[in-house]
Structure 1
């Protein structure tokens, strides 16, 4: 409603001011200088406030006749801005489009006075818009994750999406969107900062999991919206989502084979320190006997049980809306296979001829994952 009212006000102002200007010019035998007209054209084309024509008598007379116009317009725009939390977007678009339409549809040059007034209103609208974006950026950056929240999409991410969706609809048919593109980038930086701040937060759930889900959510949202200025942020969101999924997977995969993983980390450390591979088994802490003890703690059935527990835990904490469980579980399977192959390789290199082997084979491992996937 406010948009329609503002459009109507602007439509009615043009003929009113133009007719009055024509009357004054005719009555007082005044006319525009060609150079002045060019200034007006350039000022509207660049959407800036025109250079004041201090000595232009027509503008001076109109300013006195319509002395209340600018204050009244300011008050009206203020009301329009307050109709909706993001009302300033609609005001900016309406002013921009109306000025373009005014200059494009009329063969007669619009009133220089009206051009000056609307230029000032446009600057005011841009200022209100920038203040709104600044406030929203601060709100997004300072949004705290609810203490009882166990994961899922952050309020700051939802707020970002709300604004982007609303603004894209408002600017859908706009003649210009430069201001909006700048705002989108500012807000994207703020929402990324909000997610990054989780790394120092004291969460009850895995931080990488929450960050993974939120970056994934933003990536999917931006893929859907196809906003050109946010293509870089879309790629960054995908990269960050992948990074945090990798961290999440590696951290949780240390648990099913924790002692075995710890043992082989020690083996790799000794080799890195210069111990020959064939001499590692002579180290007391990494002897063949110690390796057998660790391997005995991980019979096949225990590994499968540990994987089932891991699956249930992941299922419990991942938000169903993002549908990341199959993706994460597949990534865990790939990482588990990589670890298994690394363990087997280290046994072959550092404990050659010992006859030591894991209690389960690669085929067993694949069947464990397949069984868990099919049963859930």
Structure 2
């Protein structure tokens, strides 16, 4: 707000002074003057003397004269604006977003009035500094992503730079709404999101306490949610990519994890399927010693309802819970199908039902 106030008050002040100089020295009468004048010569007294004596003013044009006089009067503006910009950048590098938008707008306005004026030139010079700070802000964020170190003893959740990208994007979208410099932001987004993607994968590969699939799944779910909420058009492809990565690692994690609460049951039925794949007819599998009805009953007995619920409870993760339920039910139906086909008429069934699974999942979700 201070930055905008300074620019808003500076603009009419400069224009008013420029208008005063033009009228006071009646410069519109001297548009055909061709001699040059050094900056040191351009001051009020010399102009007044030359004008009163009727001699030609030694400047190449009226605009050059006005600009030279404005430089003499307002030579402090550019360094002072740069000092203000440096202070804002020091307080928070994200201030460069706001300053880029505001400064660009004022440069655009000044150039529409007179592209060669003192105000246009000065603000244009300062805009270069602001843009440099904006670029530095983006580069620093990418560098910080690359330097992130995760403790070997700590579990990995949403990574700091993923949360920071969300903060940056939310702020940027509010600042750059309908701004002239949208192209600069879109270029920055492209650099940042690639940095986020690459470094999420890097951390996931290095993580020791948290499975790689979990790191990938949780962070890309967060990225996808952020991009979906903000609707950043230049990142549509990255939004789809984030969703695909999230989905792939979710599926991988769910399949891997659900082997744990029903581990022995999984191994048993993997053996059944292996025998069928070798050419044994499904209804004859029960005659195999390792896979007869007694062995089936024995392994099923190890998974009463309370044990299944306990296993599911240990797996609870909010972001994947519905997928966990769906996959668990799919596995349950798959096992039931194998029992029906490979052990027909045996009367052997699981010790829990689909309704039990739904009840367990509901209870677990409510308790977390």
Confirm or deny a common fold (TM above 0.5): yes
Q: Are 1:246 and 2:248 an aligned pair? A: no
Confirm or deny: 8 A CA contact 2:94 2:137 kept in the other structure.
yes
Following the alignment from structure 2 to structure 1, what is the Cα–Cα distance between the partners of residues 76 and 184? Answer: 25
Deviations 1:185-207 (A, max 9, x none): 32222223332223212332344
Following the alignment from structure 1 to structure 2, what is the Cα–Cα distance between the partners of residues 364 and 349? Answer: 23
Q: Select between 61-70 and 365-374 the one with higher mean Cα deviation.
A: 61-70
User: How many residues end up aligned between the 2 structures?
Assistant: 336
RMSD: 3.7
Deviations 1:137-181 (A, max 9, x none): 221233233556434432112221222233333334634422112
Compared with structure 1, are the counterparts of its residues 121 and 368 closer, same or farther at alpha carbon in structure 2 (3 Å cutoff)? closer
Confirm or deny: 8 A CA contact 2:150 2:207 kept in the other structure.
no
Unaligned segments of structure 1, at least 5 residues: 32-55, 319-324
1:271 equivalent in structure 2: 276
Measured after TM superposition, the shift of residue 98 of structure 1 is 0.6
Q: Are 1:85 and 2:98 an aligned pair? A: no
TM-score (norm 2): 0.74
Rg larger in 1 or in 2? 2
TM-score (norm 1): 0.72
Measured after TM superposition, the shift of residue 375 of structure 1 is 6.5
Compared with structure 1, are the counterparts of its residues 15 and 157 closer, same or farther at alpha carbon in structure 2 (3 Å cutoff)? same
1:312-331 equivalences in 2 (<5 Å): 313-314=314-315, 318=317, 325=318, 328-331=320-323
Compared with structure 1, are the counterparts of its residues 199 and 70 closer, same or farther at alpha carbon in structure 2 (3 Å cutoff)? farther
1:27 equivalent in structure 2: 30
Deviations 1:114-138 (A, max 9, x none): 5455444434433332222122122
Match of 1:357 among 349, 365, 368: 349
Following the alignment from structure 1 to structure 2, what is the Cα–Cα distance between the partners of residues 236 and 131? Answer: 27
Q: Select between 93-102 and 111-120 the one with higher mean Cα deviation.
A: 111-120
Structure 2 SS opposite 1:357: coil
Confirm or deny: 8 A CA contact 2:297 2:348 kept in the other structure.
yes
